[in-house]
Amino acid sequence: MSSRAPSLTVVVVVVVVVGWTTLVEAIAQPPAAEGAESAAIGQLAGDIERGRARSAELYCSVCHGPVGVSETPEWPTLAGQVSTYLARQLHLFRVRERASPEMEPIAASLSDRDIADLAVFYAAQQPPAVSGASSCAPAADRLYRHGDKARGIEPCAECHGPTGAGRDADGQPALRAQQAIYTAKQLEAYAAQRRYRGQRDLGQEAPGADAMRATAHKLTREEIEALASCLQRPRDR
């Protein structure tokens, strides 16, 4: 049995003949047994270098950039994102609970090992240093740091961290240096209960999703846009 990687010509022919999904399936490791929960839990034992290689082989880099910095407003930046959060989301795309026409077919063929390796690879990359003056409106900054007691809105900083870097231990995602269009779309999706299909009780598969639905529901459209635009920049405090 040859252990050599297929040549480029073979890959191109395979893509043309059998299509994208089949190729991705062919490259992916065989999926681990049903019920394996490595994607949903605490500390991840992943291999950064294998994750880097898989991100190129599986064409993740085409949309998310070679080091996870997206150049397209609708496609999220993954660089510097919390690893446990990334793994959980890939798992949720794989089981078709998080809805996305772009991500569901790709995630379907990922093995647990791919998910762990891709998650630690992207988490280890530098988030982009977005340049230019801060566009953080004072009201949005106040909401981020202090919430709004009267309306029952908890401070975003409490869960996402003062600098928006997220919290690895609890898998709360980083928000800083994220594409504003993507952030606004997610807040709207939580508010409208569209981010997840609701086919299963998410529980520990997406801890905090209920809190996010409740929070996003209380935000006005203007607040969502102001917060999203504020969070496109790195936060220094």
For residue 62, state whether it binds ligand HEC (rule: CB under 6 A): yes
For residue 78, state whether it binds ligand HEC (rule: CB under 6 A): yes
Q: Residue 41 CB, nearest distance to ligand HEC (Å)?
A: 14
Which of 37, 102, 193, 222 lies at the binding interface for ligand HEC (CB under 6 A)?
Answer: 102
For residue 82, state whether it binds ligand HEC (rule: CB under 6 A): no
Task: Name the segment binding ligand HEC (CB under 6 A); options: 5-13, 38-46, 124-132, 152-160.
Answer: 152-160
Q: Residue 202 CB, nearest distance to ligand HEC (Å)?
A: 8
DSSP string, the chain: ---PPPPHHHHHHHHHHHHHHHHHHHHSPPPPPTT--GGGSSS----HHHHHHHHHHTTHHHHH-TTS--SSTTSPP-TT--HHHHHHHHHHHHTT-B--TTHHHHHHT--HHHHHHHHHHHHTSPPP---SS----HHHHHHHHH-BGGGTBPPHHHHH-TTS--BTTTTBPP-TT--HHHHHHHHHHHHTT-SB--SS--GGGSTTHHHHHHHHHHS-HHHHHHHHHHHTS----
Q: What are the residues binding ligand HEC (CB under 6 A)?
A: 58-60, 62-64, 74-76, 78, 81, 86, 89-90, 100, 102-103, 106, 118, 143, 153-154, 156, 158-160, 172-173, 175, 183, 185-187, 206-209, 211-212, 215, 227
